[in-house]
Amino acid sequence: MKRSPLNDIIIRGCRVNNLKGIDLDIPRGELVVITGVSGSGKSSLAFDTLYAEGQRRYVDSLSSYARQFLMRMKKPECDQIKNLPPAVAIEQRVVSRNPRSTVGTSSEIDDYLRVLMARVGKLYSPISGELVKRHTAADVVEAAHQIPIDSKLYILA
C-alpha cells in the first residue's frame, strides 16, 4: 500500500499530562514505535491521547442506547486530531488463563462489536449466500407451493 501523507494521523497542539503543545504526523498503515526516556510522554501520547480519542470517537458513533452501557473517556487536550481510526489498547499483562482468550476478549472490543453488529449487521446464509430474514406464514405457504406435487414435504415445529 502506497503511503499518502493525506491519510496520516495529524495531532496539533497536544497538551496532555507532560506533553507541552506538540505537533505530530503519524503514518497510517505502518508499524509505528513510540520511544523515549522515562517521563518523555510516551504513555501520554499513546494512551491518554491516541487511544482515548480513538475510543471516544468510536463510542460517540454508537446509538445513545448503546452508549449508556459503555464507559466514556475524557477528550484529550489538543487543538486538532485528524484521521484517527477507532483504537484498541491491550495492557502488557496476563488477564486470563483461559486458552480461549483472544485480543477481542482481553481488550473487550468483542462487547462493542457485538452491540454494533446487533444494530447494523446483516446475516447471510453460508450455503445459499442469500440474506437471512424472518419468514411469515405466507412465505412458508409460497415456498410449499414451489415444491413439485409428487415430492414429500415434512413440516416440523
- The answer on 74 and 140 residing in a single domain is no
Is 153 within a domain?
A: no
> Which residues of the chain form beta strands (DSSP E)?
9-14, 22-26, 80-82
Is 28 within a domain?
A: yes
**DSSP string spanning 107-152?**
HTHHHHHHHHHHHH---B-TTT-PBP-PPPHHHHHHHHHTS-TTS-
> pTM of this prediction?
0.54
Q: What is the pLDDT of residue 146?
A: 92
Q: What is the pLDDT of residue 84?
A: 87
Which residues of the chain fall below pLDDT 70?
Answer: 1-5, 88-97, 106-107
Number of domains in the chain: 2
Exposure string for 35-66, b = 16+ CB within 10 A, e = fewer: eeeeeebeebbebbbbbbbbbbbbbeebeeee
Please give the residue range of the domain that contains residue 120. Answer: 96-147
- The answer on 134 and 68 residing in a single domain is no
Q: What is the pLDDT of residue 94?
A: 60
- The answer on 85 and 107 residing in a single domain is no
Q: What is the pLDDT of residue 12?
A: 93
Q: What is the pLDDT of residue 125?
A: 92
Per-residue pLDDT tens digits for 79-106:
999 998 877 666 666 656 677 777 777 6
Q: What is the pLDDT of residue 112?
A: 82
CA-CA distance, 111 to 114, in Å (whole number)? Answer: 5
Q: What is the pLDDT of residue 33?
A: 86
CA-CA distance, 64 to 18, in Å (whole number)? Answer: 33
